[in-house]
Structure 1
Amino acid sequence: MRIDEIEQEDSDIEWFAIDSDGHVLHISSGGGVLPESVASSQETLLQLHQYFLALPDTVAASLVQVEANAEKSGRNYQNAMRYARRGLFSFDKTLLNKHLDPQYHLVVRPVAVLTIKDIPEPIATLLRRTSLPDSVLSKTHLIVSDIG
């Protein structure tokens, strides 16, 4: 089933992508527009969530960016940390609930990086549907409209 525009705008949907080098990204939508490859299937999104959350933790993640006054704004980066401990780069929507704003910022960079080569083929096939055109290694920001 497709994730419709109203659900996208009303929800903080966690989704996944790979970069041009095969690094895996976790992205929290914060009410933003999802790439069509993500919005097209709730079932695929659920499969990816189940796979990544079942992975064991790797070494501790390094917190690289925290929003100023994070506690006061109610932002919680525990999910980002959980995915980074499993090897995923984690990004969050910069302006929450600004549905059409495409900007995301890096929240957590993993110490032990997970790549598409480390993932079983059925899951890797699902991940390849959503990809960043360049490497995430030096990025601290993403524009979601660049992800296809």
Structure 2
Amino acid sequence: MTIPEGEQWGYDFDWFAVDADGYLVHLTSWGGILPASVAASGENLKTLEDYFSKLPELSTDEEIEATFTDATPDGDLGTYLEYIRRGFFSFDRMDYNNHDSCVYQLVARPPRALLVADLPPDIAAIITQTQLPFSVADLVKLDTSAVA
């Protein structure tokens, strides 16, 4: 079932992608428009969330160096940490007042990164439907407008 645009505006979706180097990326939409590949299947998004929430942690909070602590009102990285600990680069959408904005700010890089090659084939097949056409390794901001 697709995620309707109106629902996307009213919810902060965690969504996932693979960058050009095979790194796993976690992004939070904060009421923004999702790429078509993500919005195409709420079931696939739920499958990824369920699988990733059960992955073992690769890092401790003490090892994580936050780049953008304005991601949450009190500077607590909360759910971002769940993904960063598991090896994801984590980004938050910046312009909360513009649903069409596709610019995201790095929250933190993982001390130990997870690659798409580390995933089972069924999960890799879902996440690779959303590909970033660039590497996130050195980025602090990214624009997802070119992501299908």
TM-score range, shorter chain: over 0.9
Post-superposition CA distance 1:58-104 (Å, at most 9, x none): 11232122229942xxx652111110000000000111242011111
Post-superposition CA distance 1:30-79 (Å, at most 9, x none): 000100000000000000001110001111232122229942xxx65211
Q: Unaligned 5+ residue runs, structure 2?
A: none
Could you tell me the TM-score, scaled by structure 2's length? 0.92
What is the aligned partner in structure 2 of residue 9 from structure 1? 9
Contact preservation (8 Å) 2:24, 2:115: yes
What count of residue pairs does the alignment treat as equivalent? 145
Post-superposition CA distance 1:5-52 (Å, at most 9, x none): 110001001100000110000000000010000000000000000111
Report the CA distance shift for 1:85/1:100 in structure 2 as closer, same or farther (over 3 A): same
Corresponding residue SS for 2:12: coil
Matches within 5 A, 1:77-88: 77-88=77-88
Report the RMSD for the aligned CA atoms in angstroms: 1.6
Report the CA distance shift for 1:85/1:102 in structure 2 as closer, same or farther (over 3 A): same
Matches within 5 A, 1:19-38: 19-38=19-38
For residues 40 and 49 of structure 1, the distance between their equivalents in structure 2, rounded to whole angstroms, comes to: 15
What is the aligned partner in structure 2 of residue 123 from structure 1? 123
What is the aligned partner in structure 2 of residue 65 from structure 1? 68
Corresponding residue SS for 1:37: helix
Could you tell me the TM-score, scaled by structure 1's length? 0.92
Q: Unaligned 5+ residue runs, structure 1?
A: none
User: After TM superposition, what 4+ stretches of structure 1 lie above 3 angstroms from structure 2?
Assistant: none
Contact preservation (8 Å) 1:105, 1:140: yes
Between the aligned residues of both structures, percent identity stands at 39
What is the aligned partner in structure 2 of residue 104 from structure 1? 104
Contact preservation (8 Å) 2:71, 2:77: no
For residues 67 and 125 of structure 1, the distance between their equivalents in structure 2, rounded to whole angstroms, comes to: 33
Pair 1:89 & 2:84 matched? no
